[in-house]
Amino acid sequence: MPEFEKHPKLHVAMFAWLAMGHVTPLIYIANGLAKRGHSVPILAPQKAVLHLGHLNLYPNHIKFHIVSVPQVEGLPPGAETASDIHVSPFNPFVLAFQAMSTQVNTLLGVLKPDIVFYDFAHWIPKRATKIGFKTVCYNIIGASFFAITIVPARHIPKDRPMTEQEILEPPTGYPSSTVVLHSNEAHTLTYLGMEWGTTTFDVMLLVFVLAVSWKVAVEVERSETGWFSKEDLCKAVKCVMDEDSEVGHMVKRNHAKWNKTFNGPELMDDYG
C-alpha cells in the first residue's frame, strides 16, 4: 500500500484571483491531491471553468463550484476573468474580487473544508477562525517580488505612495544583486502604500529570475522608458534561435536542467 493511502483524507477547497494564470496552477495541485484520495472543491467563475475544466483529471474528487463576479463600476458586462479587460492603472476586478467575500465565505461555510488554498483573498483567514479550517496562502507570483516589495524590512508609508527612489533601494537583507528593479519598473510599483485597487500588479521581476538567475531566457533590450521596438524583439529571438548562438545553446541546456527538476516525480510527490 502506498504511504499516502495510510493518511486520512482531507477536504481541500481552493479559491484564486480571477485570472487563468492563477487558477491553472491550483488545478494541477488539485490533481495531485485528488490522486491521493483527497476531495477538492474549486471556487471559480463559469468562464474559467469552461476554459480550464478539461485539466481536471479526477472529476470524482475535484468539483468546481461556480461563483459569480459582481458588477462594479468600470467592469464590462460579462467580464469574469482578468483577460476580459484591458490593463489600466485602475483595475475594476480588484473591487469585484473584494465584493465576492460574502459569497465565497458563505460557500466555504457550506463546504466546511479542512484546508483552503487562496492567494489574494486576504479575508479568507478571518473566516477560517469562525469555521475552523486551516489556510494556505499559495502565490504563483515569484518569491523575489514579495522579497523586494512587501517584506517587513520594506518600510511602506501608510499615508502616501512610495517614491521611485525608495522602491529602487532593496530592503535590508534582500539576497540578490541581479534580480533587482530598474527605474522604469520601479515607476509601476509606486502604488505601494496606496489603497489596493489603484493599479495593476506587475511581476516584471520574473524576467530577471528567468534571464539572469536561471538563464533560461533572454531579456529584450529596452529604452529608458521601458519600451522596446520590433527590432529589439527580433534581436532577442534570433539570439536564442540561431543554431550557432552560444546564448541559444546555454538557454537550451538550462531548459533541460530545470525541466528535469520541476517535472520530476520527486517534486510532484511532495504535494499531498
The alpha carbon of residue 158 and the mean position of all alpha carbons in its chain are separated, in whole angstroms, by: 25
Calculate the CA 77 to chain-centre distance: 25
Helix (H) or strand (E) run with residue 102 in it: helix 101-111
- If you ran DSSP here, which 8-state letter would residue 7 be given? S
Single-letter amino acid, residue 120: F
Enclosing H/E stretch for 147 = helix 143-149
Cα–Cα distance for residue pair 122/136, rounded to 1 Å: 11
Check if 202 is active-site: no
Dist CA 26 CA 120 (whole Å): 13
Instruction: Please say whether the beta carbons of 195 and 94 come within 8 A.
Output: no
The helix/strand/coil state of 128 is: helix
Q: Phi, psi at residue 59, to the nearest 5°?
A: -60, -20
Residue type, 198: T
- In one-letter notation, the amino acid at residue 75 is L
> Which entry of 7, 22, 249, 270 is annotated as an active-site residue?
22
Residues written for the chain: 272
Q: Are 179 and 208 in contact (CB under 8 A)?
A: yes
Q: Residue 172 corresponds to which cell in the numbers above?
A: 535590508
Is 182 annotated in the active site? no
Strand partners, 15: 43, 118
Catalytic site residue from 119, 122, 187, 269: 119
Catalytic residues: 22, 119
